[in-house]
Amino acid sequence: MHMLDKSSKYSFQTIWQGNLVPHKTKFPSGIKALADYVHGKGLKLGIYSDAGYFTCSKTMPGSLGHEEQDAKTFASWGFDYLKYDNCDNDGIKPTVRGDMQTALWGSHLGNSWRTTNDITDDWKSMLSRIDMNEIYADLSRPGGWNDPDMLEVGNGGMNKTEYIVHFSLWAISKSPLLIGCDVIRNMTRETKDILSNKEVIAVNQDPLGVQGKKVRMQGFLKIWAGPLSGYRTVVVLLNRGRRRKAITALWEDIGIPPNSAVEARDLWEHKTLRRQFVGKMTATVEPHACKMYVLKPLA
C-alpha cells in the first residue's frame, strides 16, 4: 500500500511509489478473487478511494499523487465502478478535485457525480436528497448521471412502502442504483423483491436516458414524470403526507397530447390496468407511498 510519512502538514504524506495491496486478514484470497465471486453472482462491484492523502475514514490511504497507478490497480482487480471522495486534499482547488457543484463539470471526468450531501436511512433524508438532485436534472444524459447517493433499501430505517418510494424516485431520476445494504448476510425477501423489480429497473435503464422531474406539486402530493423510449411516459404519483389521498396526473403536465388515449402499466403490481385513460389518470395513494406507471399510447 502507499506508505505514509508523519512529517507533513497533515501529519501524513504519500511518499512511496508502491501499489495498494489487499488486507491479508479481510481478503485472504485477494481482491481479484472477490471480484470474480461477485461477478459470478451476476452483480457488478465497486470500490472507494479519495482525492487526498487519506480517505474520509482517516485510516486508509487516498490516491492523491497516485491516481493513474491506483486506477490501473483497481482495473486489474476487476472492479466495474470507482467512487471517488474528496477528503484530506490539502485545500486543492475544488474544480480540480471535486465540490458540491460537480454536476456542472463532472461529465468531463466521470460517468456520474454526487449532487447531494450523504444520505441517511430515513424518510426525510431520502426525500431531501432526491429534491436536491432534481435541481440538476437538465445536466443528466446518457453516459453522465446525477447521483443523489446510494440506496438505503434494506437497512431498516424506513418501512416497505417508503423503500418502494425510494427505489421509484431513484429509478425515474435515472440515478445510479448502488445497493447500500448487506446483500450476503441479512437481505430479506422483501428487500430483494424491491431491488430486483425488473420493470422499475427498466425505467432507470431506458435508452432515452432523460431524467424525470416533478411536474406538479400540491402540498404533500407530488407528481413526477419523464419521457421513455417508444413514445412512452413514466409517472410517479407520490404522497409525502400522512393521510390517504387521491392524486391526479394531467396529460398537459406530463407531456402527453391532451386527447390521447393511453394504457397504464402498474410497475409495482406488475399488471396493465383494464381501462384506458384520456386526458388524465387518478389513483388513490396511501401515506408515505407512491404509484408508478408507464403510460403507452394506444393507436
Confidence band, pLDDT 50/70/90 cuts, at residue 90: confident
Mean pLDDT throughout 220-247? Answer: 98
Degrees to nearest 5, angle at CA 22 with 20 and 28 = 160
Is the confidence at residue 152, as pLDDT, over 70?
yes
pLDDT at 192: 97
Burial of residue 289 (CB within 10 Å: 0-12, 13-18, 19+) is buried
The answer to whether the beta carbons of residues 293 and 264 sit under 8 Å apart is yes
- The pLDDT of residue 216: 97
pLDDT at position 288 over 90: yes
pTM over 0.95: no
- Residue 280: beta bridge partners? 250
Q: Quickly state the pLDDT bin for 137 (edges 50, 70, 90).
A: very high
- For the segment 248-256, the average pLDDT, to the nearest whole number, is 97
Catalytic entry in 5, 90, 99, 118: 118
pLDDT tops 90 at residue 106: no
**Using an 8 Å Cβ cutoff, are 208 and 229 in contact?**
yes
Res. 59: pLDDT tops 60: yes
- How far is residue 190 from each of residues 160, 170, 263, 293, measured CA to CA in Å? 8, 18, 28, 21
pLDDT at 187 over 90: yes
Q: Using pLDDT thresholds of 50, 70 and 90, give the confidence band for residue 7.
A: very low
The active-site residue out of 50, 85, 121, 147 is 85
* 85 is an active site residue: yes
Instruction: Determine the pLDDT at residue 194.
Output: 98
Overall average pLDDT of the 62-80 stretch: 93
The residue written with cell numbers 445536466 in the block is: 139
